[in-house]
């Protein structure tokens, strides 16, 4: 199995484990997480999981990368790679990420002044650090190809 696929899967799983733990510590309702939130979480995971192989493929091809705001974007706006299929992948992935960030921010705002943007930016840092060699990441407004894992120490 492709190492990038496995890493992306574990990244996705980690994101939702945070969400599950966060809501389970709430103490409201069954296990702290309402059935509605559980269903939202399941739907988001399922949609992202189904899209993951194609997302990883486009990252491996250098078509899309992780931007500095916690979302995926076109690395190069040349228009060549901007097919409707890739536009759909980006839009759907970013919609799911925004939904996940909103769920986390919704919980966190109870005790802290956390916004969706705060959650997304924090996630962006981790995604850039975890990005495999050869994937594009946005650093200080510019796209760079991550050549080795040691570069992660320089990413802020």
Q: Which has the higher per-residue pLDDT, 57 or 12?
A: 57
Cα–Cα distance for residue pair 15/148, rounded to 1 Å: 24
Does the pTM surpass 0.85? The reply is: no
Q: Which residues contact 19 (CB under 8 A, 6 or more apart)?
A: 41, 100, 103, 104, 107
For residue 144, give both structure tokens.
């760079």
Q: How far apart are the first and last CA of the chain?
A: 30
Lowest mean pLDDT among 28-32, 89-93, 146-150: 28-32
| The pLDDT of residue 148 | 55
pLDDT tens digits for 68-126? 999 999 998 666 678 899 999 999 999 999 999 988 888 777 667 788 898 999 999 99
- What is the model's pLDDT at position 149? 46
Closest CA to 128 of 56, 44, 87, 71: 71
């Amino acid at each position: 199995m492709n190492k990038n696929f496995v890493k992306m899967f574990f990244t996705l799983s980690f994101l939702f484990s945070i969400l599950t733990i966060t809501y389970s510590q709430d103490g409201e309702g069954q296990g702290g997480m309402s059935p509605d939130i559980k269903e939202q979480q399941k739907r988001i995971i399922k949609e992202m999981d189904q899209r993951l192989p194609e997302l990883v493929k486009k990252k491996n091809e250098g078509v899309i990368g992780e931007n500095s705001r916690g979302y995926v974007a076109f690395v190069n706006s040349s228009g060549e790679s901007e097919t409707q299929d890739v536009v759909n992948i980006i839009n759907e992935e970013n919609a799911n990420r925004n939904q996940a960030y909103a769920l986390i921010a919704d919980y966190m705002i109870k005790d802290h002044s956390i916004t969706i943007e705060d959650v997304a930016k924090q996630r962006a840092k981790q995604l850039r650090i975890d990005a495999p060699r050869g994937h594009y990441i946005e650093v200080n407004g510019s796209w760079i190809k991550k050549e080795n894992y040691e570069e992660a120490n320089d990413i802020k």
